[in-house]
Amino acid sequence: MTVLILTCEQDVTADMVVARLNATGVPVLRLDPADLPGGVQLSGEYVHGGFRGQLSVGGRLVSTSGLRSVWVRRPGVPAARAASASASASSWLTEESSQALYGILRGTAARWMNHPDAAARARHKPWQLHLAQRTGLPVPATLITTLPQAARDFAERFPDLVVKSVSGTHPQDPPEAVPTSRVAPGTDFAAVASGPTLLQHRIAKRADIRLTAVGDRLLAARKAVAADADPDEVDVRFARAGAPWEPVGVPARTAAAVHAYLREARLAYGAFDFVEDADGIWWFLECNQSGQFGFVEIDTGQPISRAIAEWLAQEADV
Amino acid sequence: MRLFALDYARPAEQLEVSAPYAYDSALQLNVLPDGRIAAHDHAVLRELGATTSTAGSKTHFDD
């Protein structure tokens, strides 16, 4: 039984897991949907009341009935590298390729990390906040609005605010990054009317926490805020290197809430971001259903790639 | 009117650094010029930031 990994070739984080699987003799088929059609081929037939399908890439051929799990890591857009005559044809080919690949895979008994339906829902940050609240994780006061007056009222109640992207994406034209940033007192909120804006009460943090959940396993790491850190540097992804990530235990209540979150979200993998306040409380910021883990493993030595490999190596549900 | 959040945007970092490894389709892994598996060389990965939480931001938002 084979582990199917959907990711791009440059994904060296996926390599950490592929190497683990290789070491334990678990067959792997790695492909990038961007290479379908072309480098990746598929075929499936529904006859006599049954289904037979196969995938191939680079001379490897796997029957879809022989898949034990599918890891959706960093897949390219289906057909992205296919030659096509026009943009509309390209868009259509992408949809055709996406439906063919993911549609066939959805019909297999393979276990997913993560299932596309669960992943699509889990990407919605407002839904993440809702689910975190419902499962008992502390959530900073947050407002998502297009109403300038609502923003002003919120700023009166919570004067120390940050602004962040609602979607977690970054503008591409031109390419820009939108780090979580502090909002200065007296800021004019008129531009909130131009698009949904997420404002959040800033938690004065003494550390960032990255909790990586793999199945039932929780591996948490903590990065202390330096005493001389710039208080305006709130987004750890964009902060200067500072202290390394270090392993940290997960408080029992947090662990229970995270398990409930994963159950309800139907996620096999999640990278949770928290900030720890002066009282030691972990405040939920977000859960990235395909968040990076390599940097944490490299700093802490935590066996995240091994945990993922072990989860993927379990046999498919029957 | 410019979006409120974009007042806090900064130019995206160009991550198009040429990586000292290449994908080997036979191994299904990226390998260094000396044949070693790139993922086993943490120094290289640190230097490139290839596994960090902004590494995939350009095309993926799950970082």
Instruction: Give the residue extent of every domain in chain A.
Output: 2-113, 120-138+203-313, 142-201
Instruction: Give the residue extent of every domain in chain B.
Output: 19-51
**Of A163, A172, A292, which has the smallest distance from its Cβ to B55's Cβ?**
A292
* Separation CA A142–CA A84 (nearest Å): 45
Asked whether the beta carbons of residue B39 and residue A12 sit closer than 8 angstroms, the reply is: yes
Kindly indicate whether the domain formed by A120-138+203-313 is annotated with CATH number 3.30.470.20.
Answer: yes
| Complex ipTM value | 0.87
With cut-offs at 50, 70 and 90, classify the pLDDT of residue B57: very low
Q: A28-31 and A2-6 as β-strands: parallel, antiparallel, unpaired?
A: parallel
pLDDT one-digit tens code per residue, A71-107: 999 999 999 988 765 666 689 999 999 999 999 999 9
DSSP 8-state symbol, A315:
P
Asked if the C-beta of A12 comes within 8 angstroms of chain B's C-beta atoms, the answer is yes
Q: A217-224 and A205-214 as β-strands: parallel, antiparallel, unpaired?
A: antiparallel
* Separation CA A136–CA A261 (nearest Å): 9
Model pLDDT, residue A235 = 83
Asked whether the beta carbons of residue A13 and residue B51 sit closer than 8 angstroms, the reply is: yes
CB interface of B with A, residues 1-60, below 8 Å: 1-13, 19, 21, 23, 25-26, 28-30, 37-40, 42, 45-46, 49-60
Angstroms from A85 CA to nearest CA on chain B: 24
Cα–Cα separations (whole angstroms), residue A7 to A76, A97, A309, B28 = 7, 15, 15, 11
- CATH class assigned to A142-201: alpha beta
Model pLDDT, residue B16 = 58
State yes or no: pLDDT of A31 exceeds 60.
yes
Q: Buried b / exposed e across A23-34, counting CB within 10 Å, b at 16+?
A: eeebbbbbbbbb
Nearest CA in chain A to B24: A9
State yes or no: pLDDT of A286 exceeds 80.
yes
* Separation CA B34–CA A137 (nearest Å): 47
Across chain A, the runs of DSSP E, i.e. the strands, are 2-6, 28-31, 40-47, 50-57, 60-63, 67-72, 111-113, 142-145, 161-164, 176-177, 181-183, 197-201, 205-214, 217-224, 246-248, 269-277, 282-288
Model pLDDT, residue A138 = 98
* Contact residues, chain B, for A73 at CB < 8 Å: none
SS3 A231: coil
**Of A12, A29, A298, which has the smallest distance from its Cβ to B30's Cβ?**
A12
Asked if the C-beta of A165 comes within 8 angstroms of chain B's C-beta atoms, the answer is yes
* Separation CA A243–CA A225 (nearest Å): 7
**Of B25, B38, B51, which has the smallest distance from its Cβ to A58's Cβ?**
B25
DSSP 8-state symbol, A32:
-
Q: For chain A, how big is the Rg over CA atoms in Å?
A: 22
Arch. (CATH architecture) of A2-113 = 3-Layer(aba) Sandwich (3.40)
